[in-house]
Structures are given as C-alpha cells and as structure tokens.
Amino acid sequence: MHFQGQQLVSRETQVASRSVVALAASKIFVVHLGIGLNDLQIMNVKPGEEAIGIAADILLMFLTLNHLLSWLGDLHSFKGWNSETKVSGVSLFGAGGSPLQSKFEAALGELSNLRSNADTRLKDGGAEQIGDLLSKADQMVGQLDTMNKSVGRLNLHAGIYLWVWFLVMPVGLAAYALWL
C-alpha cells in the first residue's frame, strides 16, 4: 500500500509477514486437522513428528522475530516521515510530495496572502471588501476541512494496514501456532 506517494510497508516486511503466516497456518492446520507426520520423509530420513514440531517452532520463532524487526523499522520510518517538522517545505513522506500535500500548501499560501492583505483592505475598504475577505476565508476553511477529512480516512486505513494486517495478524497467528 502506498500512503501519500510512499510505500507504507517495505518489501522485507511483506515477505516476512507472508512467511510467518504461511508457517503458522500450516502448523495450525496440521494440528487441527489431525494430519499425522510420521510417514513424512525428507531426503530419505524420517525425522519423526516431535522433531518436526520442534523444528517448526524454532523456525516460527525466528521468522516472527525477523518480521517484528522489519515491522519496527517500517514503523520508525513511517513516524519519522510523518512528523510535524517535515511539513514545511517538504512533503510529509519525503521528496516528490503528493496531491494532498500540494492542496494543503496551496491553501496555506492563500491564507498567508489573505492575512498579509487583510490589514490594508480593512483600513481602506468598505463593506464590499470586507465581504470579499469573509467569502475568501470561508472558501479556504471549506478546502481545509475537506482535506482534513481525507487525511483522517487515509490515516485510519494506513493504521489498520500497518498495525492490524502487518502486526496483530501475523504475530497473533504465530503465537497461537506456538501455543498449540
């Protein structure tokens, strides 16, 4: 998933998540479906069901740790790009910007112009100029409100994707599979 022009979760985290989910789901299916592994033969060796279970648990712990490290790196990267100090002059997620960022910067520019011209217009103007200022201010407030709602929906989706799909689901499956 891309979030304002940047990939939210790295390829490494996606692969690590897939590996954890695949192994955890395999173990869960084997246990719940009662599939016997006594007849399993790997390179002409029959390791036995207990040895396979121990190896699967060790591999699952390693893959889960690898996934958590990759995910934490993505989280720190996400938080680093999504900080208030990055907003002025640079896109929220690095070089290149986004349509949302461009609209936000345009609205900020309009507000700055309105503020710098307001004193002059109010001193020299009458009711028509004051009405023009109020109309322009209402228009900009509407633009900013629309952008704020878009950012809220995008942040909610990104949060679910990052926290639920790439943390809770794989780690939860791994924990359940290790518990079995």
pLDDT bracket for residue 97 (50, 70, 90): very low
Q: What is the pLDDT of residue 86?
A: 47
Q: What's the pLDDT score for residue 56?
A: 92
Lowest mean pLDDT among 13-27, 148-162, 163-177: 148-162
Q: What is the pLDDT of residue 96?
A: 44
Residues 19, 61 contacting (CB under 8 angstroms): no
Residue 1 has pLDDT above 80, yes or no: no
Greatest C-alpha distance within the chain: 95
Give 89's pLDDT tier (boundaries 50, 70, 90).
Answer: very low
- Of the chain, the percentage scoring pLDDT greater than 90 comes to 30
Task: Return the higher-pLDDT residue of 29 and 78.
Answer: 29
**pLDDT-based confidence at residue 103 (cuts at 50, 70, 90):** low
d(CA 146, CA 167): 31
Looking at the predicted structure, is the pLDDT value of residue 161 above 90?
no
| Rounded-to-integer distance, Cα 153 and Cα 149, Å | 6
Q: pLDDT: is 28 or 151 the higher one? A: 28
Q: Which domain holds residue 143?
A: 2-179
The secondary element (H helix, E strand) that includes residue 7 is strand 6-7
Number of domains, the chain: 1
Identity of the amino acid at 89: G
pLDDT of residue 87: 45
To which residue do tokens 């790196």 refer? 73
